[in-house]
Amino acid sequence: MLTYSLVNLFDIISYPAFSYLCAMKLSQYPIADEIKQNLEGLGFRRPTDIQYKSIPSILRGEDVLAIAQTGTGKTAAFAIPVLNIVQGRKQRTRSKGVKCLVMVPTHELAQQVTGVFNEIGKNTGIRTFGLYGGVEQDPQIAQLEDGVDILVATPGRLFDLRAQGHLLLDWVEILVLDEADHMLDLGFLGDIHDLMRHLPKKRQTLFFSATINNKIKKIAYSLVQKDAIRIQISPKNPVAKNVTHSVAYIEMDDKRFFLERLINENPETKMLVFVRTKVRAERVSKAMERVELEAITIHGDKDQKARDRAMTQFRSGEVKVLIATDITARGVDIPDVDFVVNYDLPDKSENYVHRIGRTGRGKNRGNALSFCSESEKEMLAEIEEFLGQKIDVDPIDKVTYRETKDLSLDDQQDLKKLMEEIEQFEKKKKTKRKKGK
């Protein structure tokens, strides 16, 4: 089997397809029978590009940096070999410590990754646990004391429990950083470097992300071995080929009218709407409520129960529209999202890729539309520079633009309220005149 060790870790490359591995079914891989059975039951028969390029190297114990588009099966690409390695080592040693630490940036992603490990690792005897904030820590401490093999954790709660002495990392043999660039954006760089001092120096490090920049390159140099394997899928176009994306020029104050029309014209469509701030999420939700459209919100100010409830309603299709901040842009796999709307353009160019990657996942096709106001044109230019290409413009003629505003129920309701106020004012004037007589 070929091994690719790069002298310069960050020379941009794309491996030639391993035709013999691509042709192989997952059932033919050198992994435990229980894992094979679980994969078969989940409908995983042949590996995706990122899986057939990552799994062999991880099984060999090599450090891996994998950069691949969203929706390409990155979680399974590390979960499958990690479960196999941990199961094999667990059979040889009875230590109760955490053997694999998977770090993720958000609660939702922690829950999702934990779910993937549990599904693929069913009947293997591997105990996977998700550790994140927003919930009581006492039950989490009890679970850690009972024994955990694979720990999927967000930085905040992980660092808290380690500092309190409830979490020992002396037995960690594999470290996985999933969406690590986002964790660094959230300001966890110092904590991550501190964490490294508490991990065994002899360990395997896996780095998975959809985007990479110069800042992340420097961090990765300090985390992985010099002969780490670099895998990059479709580096020239970070947007998945299954996603059709475009931009429409709409003024900031008019965006609500166009979102209303889009929802009304696609009533059965599951739609994920991204806004820039928590306040904006609530304002857009209220605007939809005024026009009698149901939408739910998810953002960092909501407690974990509310966030879980919103995700459950959206996943099941009970509610078709979810208005979110970038908390759900990274890694979270929501089935059958037909449409992503960038109500606000993201502040960071790479977040555009992560946002629209919530649709068109796996073999499904998806659509994404960005609303761009005059004040956001500079952001749009930065996004296009990051993508290395122009985004197709969805033209809106003057008649359609005016019609969209005129037909809005919100506009009609405002007019109705104004008419009622005028009527009440006229009544008061008449009453005063009568009294004056």
- Digit-coded pLDDT (tens) for 381-427: 999 998 889 999 999 999 999 999 988 887 554 545 545 555 665 56
Residue 363 belongs to what domain range? 243-406
CATH code: domain of residue 55: 3.40.50.300
Domain boundary among 205, 232, 259: 232
Residues 128, 205 within the same domain: yes
Domain boundary among 232, 258, 273: 232
Domain total for the chain? 2
Residues 222, 306 within the same domain: no
Residues 78, 121 within the same domain: yes
pLDDT digits 0-9 by tens, 37-84: 999 998 888 888 889 889 999 999 999 888 876 667 889 999 999 999
Nearest to 311 by CA among 109, 42, 131, 132: 109
The region of weakest confidence among 296-310, 315-329, 332-346, 403-417 is 403-417
Q: Is residue 432 part of a domain?
A: no
Residues 228, 355 within the same domain: no
Are 370 and 391 in contact, with CB atoms under 8 Å apart?
Answer: yes
Q: Is residue 54 part of a domain?
A: yes
Nearest to 122 by CA among 25, 26, 41, 28: 41
Residues 306, 341 within the same domain: yes
Residues 254, 342 within the same domain: yes
Domain boundary among 232, 262, 288: 232
Give the model's pLDDT for residue 15.
Answer: 36
Residues 222, 329 within the same domain: no
Are 40 and 65 in contact, with CB atoms under 8 Å apart?
Answer: no
pLDDT digits 0-9 by tens, 126-171: 999 999 988 899 999 999 999 999 999 998 899 899 989 999 898 9
Residues 313, 204 within the same domain: no
Q: Which residues contact 419 (CB under 8 A, 6 or more apart)?
A: none
Residues 172, 59 within the same domain: yes
